[in-house]
């Protein structure tokens, strides 16, 4: 299949489930490698969601898919947040979406980026309500960037395809991720930036690690 910058192929619920499987596999590997860091969040998953430009494409069929951004949201623990600097990646594999021509040749399909956050709710909280509350009341760079586009549930399975955001039709949503504002927001998300979190946090550790850079972190 000829590589294209953006695929206009429709995203269906089977595609969302495929993204959920990839996210679960990637995070299981992360937890196994760092049982005392990110692994503390085993069993505390609230939901997973497709976000950013691909989520807009799920809704309007016009934005196009450059890559997939999948976010996992966990019930927070008292001993520290989910590692906000962590970012995982995977290959969606050969599909109707083709591949992005700028990705390494090792990718046979669209790139999938995985990120996560912990929310201040109990593990049995309603996932949709918890996520909508986060998007509407939290004033971090991450929450603002995600709320500027669309958020579609990937899990739990009974809610696959549910639109979490925009929640009301009166909300103004940008249907292009080419604007300088949103490109800079996504770059911050990919870099792990969040104005609510300590800047020296270690990716796999329970909390901040003073005077240790991310590249040299033992976790």
37-95, pLDDT tens digit by residue?
Answer: 999 999 999 999 999 999 999 999 999 999 999 999 999 999 999 999 999 999 999 99
Q: What pLDDT, on a 0 to 100 scale, did the predictor assign at position 167?
A: 79
The number of residues making up the chain comes to: 219
Q: What is the CATH number of domain 15-165?
A: 3.30.460
**98 in the Ramachandran plot: left (φ > 0), alpha (ψ -120 to 50) or beta?**
left
Mean pLDDT of 136-155: 95
Specify burial of residue 49 (Cβ count, 10 A radius: 0-12, 13-18, 19+). buried
More confident residue, 196 or 33: 33
Among residues 118, 92, 109, 102, the alpha carbon closest in space to that of 25 is found at: 92
Taking the CA atoms of 129, 47, 188 and 214 in sequence, report the sign of the dihedral they define: positive
Q: What pLDDT, on a 0 to 100 scale, did the predictor assign at position 84?
A: 92
Q: What pLDDT, on a 0 to 100 scale, did the predictor assign at position 81?
A: 97
Domain boundaries, the chain: 15-165
Q: What pLDDT, on a 0 to 100 scale, did the predictor assign at position 192?
A: 52
- pLDDT tens digit sequence for 174-215: 433 333 333 344 555 555 555 444 333 344 444 432 222 222
Q: What pLDDT, on a 0 to 100 scale, did the predictor assign at position 198?
A: 37
Both structure tokens of 64: 């196009």
Q: What pLDDT, on a 0 to 100 scale, did the predictor assign at position 120?
A: 97
Residue with tokens 């972190």: 217
Mean pLDDT of 145-167: 95
Q: What pLDDT, on a 0 to 100 scale, did the predictor assign at position 2?
A: 58
- CB environment 25-44: b (16+ within 10 A), e (fewer): ebbeebbeebeebbebbeee
- Dihedral angle computed from the Cα positions of residues 75, 127, 15 and 8, in that order, rounded to the nearest 10 degrees: -110
Q: What pLDDT, on a 0 to 100 scale, did the predictor assign at position 4?
A: 80
Percent of residues, the chain, with pLDDT higher than 90: 73
Q: How far apart are CA 92 and CA 150, in angstroms?
A: 20
pLDDT at 168 exceeding the cut of 90: no
174 Cβ contact list (under 8 Å, min separation 6): 148, 149, 182
């Amino acid at each position: 299949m000829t590589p294209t910058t953006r695929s206009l192929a429709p995203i269906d619920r089977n595609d969302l489930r495929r993204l959920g499987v990839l996210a679960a596999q990637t995070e299981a590997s992360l937890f196994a490698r760092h049982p005392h860091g990110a692994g503390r969040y085993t069993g505390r998953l609230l939901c997973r969601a497709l976000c950013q430009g691909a989520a807009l494409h799920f809704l309007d069929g016009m934005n196009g898919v450059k890559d997939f951004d999948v976010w996992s949201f966990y019930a927070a623990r008292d001993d520290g947040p989910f590692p906000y600097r962590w970012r995982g990646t995977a290959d969606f594999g050969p599909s109707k979406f083709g591949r992005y021509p700028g990705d390494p040749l090792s990718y046979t399909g669209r790139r999938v980026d995985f990120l996560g956050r912990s929310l201040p709710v109990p593990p049995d909280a309603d996932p949709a309500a918890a996520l909508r509350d986060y998007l509407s009341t939290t004033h971090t760079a991450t929450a603002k960037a995600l709320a500027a586009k669309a958020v579609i549930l990937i899990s739990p399975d009974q809610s696959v395809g549910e639109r979490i955001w925009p929640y009301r039709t009166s909300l103004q949503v940008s249907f292009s991720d080419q604007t300088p504002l949103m490109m800079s927001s996504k770059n911050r998300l990919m870099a792990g930036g969040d104005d609510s979190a300590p800047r020296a946090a270690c990716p796999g550790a329970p909390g901040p690690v003073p005077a240790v850079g991310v590249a040299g972190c033992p976790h």
